[in-house]
């Protein structure tokens, strides 16, 4: 390609990006976040800061803690925060109120959900299936849960799950979106297959909640967990959440019974009696500062349609792939994210031999994605604040660094 034709293509794509941004109904949401001139494509690891959160946190620290002190458990609603915030998250994952409790980390909630799922299964169901491509922690916890419950553990890919299910399967732990590749797995179909085998489905939603419709209630998911610091923008280390389908709640037997999930938490009884409903997923005292920062962060979702977010996500990732193809030499990078919309989450993963060094150079030039060992560049697209001009610029800088 000549320098003239290359410049023309850059100009055309930049102009197209400008037009797409002008027509974007979600574009005004960008003003709800603290952003600079960096192209931030790492919201699939840590979401950007919603602009109003600092003032809300100051109020929590100075007034609720500093002035009201212990009274804030009741007067400021601290005690009911785990369920209240769970109900804020519920519509973002397709769940009715009263089925999600916020607290602990994703890892802890995976442990609670998986062990509880196995305990709800018949005793002759002696095997747990786990996503072989899962984020490592889920695999570690599944192995521990298997030891704890006396079950065997078998790792299979999501595509292999239907053929791997047997009458011995107790529970299956799956990721909705593969954290490396951005592949979106078939939650409705796999959940149906798990149920047809008489087992329970536990889904990890870390890379899908806030980026695309999930449909927990619609598809009959049994249990689900997720973090809140990625597409939900809750802040570093913000508490995770646990979904327990309403009809399963009376049978939910947590392996971590704590005083916060007791039916009479202030009765201080030496024997444990679980609270009814979602609160039985609680364990100990909630992390109030980070939890209330999350509650404030969720305000950015007021009036926002998850389906509109999904439509923009697909448009952004489509456009990014077009720009990458236009700006990079053929064969220099390999896209490992599926092209088909029904198989794509909200990130694009590109493979190249020197990915670690390339990402360092991109970050130096104001394009922030991340690197996954050994050779993957990850770019996460958060439709609430990423625009098409950002997308074109990221691909153009990538092409320049790969030249």
Active site residue 378: yes
Token pair in block for residue 83: 């369920």
Are 24 and 39 in contact by the 8 Å Cβ rule? The answer is no
Distance CA 82, CA 80 (A): 6
Active site residue 19: no
Active site residue 230: yes
40, 179, 229, 381: the catalytic one is 229
Q: Residues 291, 292, 294, 297: what is their CA dihedral angle, to the nearest 10 degrees?
A: 180
138, 204, 287, 390: the catalytic one is 204
151, 180, 183, 230: the catalytic one is 230
Distance CA 114, CA 110 (A): 6
344, 378, 393, 396: the catalytic one is 378
Distance CA 89, CA 86 (A): 5
CB atoms within 10 A of CB 111: 24
Residue with tokens 């100051």: 58
Choose among 391, 341, 307: nearest CA to 25.
307
Active site residue 231: no
Distance CA 329, CA 325 (A): 8
* Beta pairing class for 200-204 and 127-131: unpaired
Phi/psi of residue 347, each to 5°?
A: -140, 160
Active site residue 360: no
40, 111, 135, 381: the catalytic one is 135
C-alpha dist (Å) from residue 236 to 115, 143, 291: 27, 27, 11
Distance CA 156, CA 161 (A): 6
CB atoms within 10 A of CB 105: 16
Distance CA 316, CA 99 (A): 32
Residue with tokens 């078939």: 186
Catalytic machinery residues? 135, 204, 229-230, 378
């Amino acid at each position: 390609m000549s320098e003239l034709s290359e410049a023309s293509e850059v100009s055309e794509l930049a102009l197209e990006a400008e037009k797409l941004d002008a027509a974007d109904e979600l574009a005004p949401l960008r003003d709800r976040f603290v952003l600079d001139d960096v192209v931030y494509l790492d919201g699939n690891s840590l979401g950007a800061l919603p602009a109003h959160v600092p003032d809300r946190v100051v109020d929590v620290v100075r007034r609720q803690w500093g002035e009201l002190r212990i009274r804030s458990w009741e007067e400021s609603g601290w005690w009911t925060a785990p369920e209240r915030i769970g109900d804020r998250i519920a519509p973002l994952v397709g769940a009715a109120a009263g089925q999600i409790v916020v607290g602990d980390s994703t890892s802890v909630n995976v442990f609670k959900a998986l062990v509880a799922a196995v305990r709800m299964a018949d005793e002759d169901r002696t095997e747990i299936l786990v996503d072989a491509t899962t984020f490592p922690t889920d695999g570690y916890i599944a192995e521990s849960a298997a030891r704890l419950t006396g079950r065997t553990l078998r790792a299979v890919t999501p595509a292999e799950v239907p053929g791997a299910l047997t009458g011995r399967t107790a529970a299956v732990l799956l990721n909705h979106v593969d954290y490396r590749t951005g592949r979106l797995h078939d939650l409705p179909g796999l959940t149906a297959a798990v149920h047809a085998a008489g087992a329970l489905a536990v889904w990890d939603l870390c890379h899908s909640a806030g980026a695309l419709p999930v449909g927990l209630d619609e598809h009959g998911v049994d249990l689900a967990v997720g973090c809140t610091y990625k597409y939900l923008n809750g802040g570093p280390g913000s508490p995770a959440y646990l979904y327990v389908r309403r009809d399963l709640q009376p049978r939910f037997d947590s392996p971590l019974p704590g005083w916060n999930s007791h039916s009479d938490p202030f009765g201080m009884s030496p024997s444990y009696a679980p609270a009814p409903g979602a609160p039985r997923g609680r364990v100990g005292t909630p992390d109030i500062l980070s939890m209330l920062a999350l509650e404030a962060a969720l305000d950015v979702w007021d009036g926002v349609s998850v389906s509109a977010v999904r439509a923009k996500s697909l448009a952004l990732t489509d456009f990014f792939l077009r720009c990458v193809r236009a700006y990079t030499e053929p064969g220099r990078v390999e896209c490992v994210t599926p092209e088909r919309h029904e198989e794509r989450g909200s990130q694009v993963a590109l493979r190249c031999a020197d990915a670690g060094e390339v990402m360092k150079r991109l970050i130096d030039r104001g394009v922030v994605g991340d690197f996954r060992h050994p050779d993957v560049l990850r770019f996460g697209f958060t439709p609430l604040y990423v625009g098409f001009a950002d997308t074109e610029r990221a691909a153009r800088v990538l092409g320049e660094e790969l030249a």
